Amino acid sequence: AVVNALVAASGQLGLPHRTGIIESKDAFYAEIRAGSMPLADELTRRWSAYRQAGVLASEMEAAALFVIAAWKGLRAGCVVQVSDNQYAGHHLGPEIPMDDTIRVAVEAVRGLIRSDLMGPND
């Protein structure tokens, strides 16, 4: 429901979006500077496998939020704003301004609230 609400909010606001799999990690530099890390070959192979599997982005918090939400019986979603392409070696800058990204999240929550208030049969 949360992903659908985020997609709908992006559409309502006329903003671009992508949906897909992201990878959560606990070591920021293990990915972007794998060559300088212990186990560099393993880290490089791991990210290559993620890319081959269609992983769109990497971040550091979402997995914990999804686990806690599932444990507590709550809904969760994730909005990420990509700013760098480590493989091309350059800073991309956000595709849309951060304020617009926040507007998508807020509108999605509003949509979920409206849906909850209307109930399952409305």
**Tokens of residue 119, six digits:** 């109930």
Alpha-carbon distance of 84 to 60, in angstroms, equals 15
Strand-pair partners of 90: 85
Active site residue 100: no
User: Looking at the chain, how many residues does it have?
Assistant: 122
Which of 84, 100, 116, 122 is catalytic? The answer is 84
Active-site residue set: 84
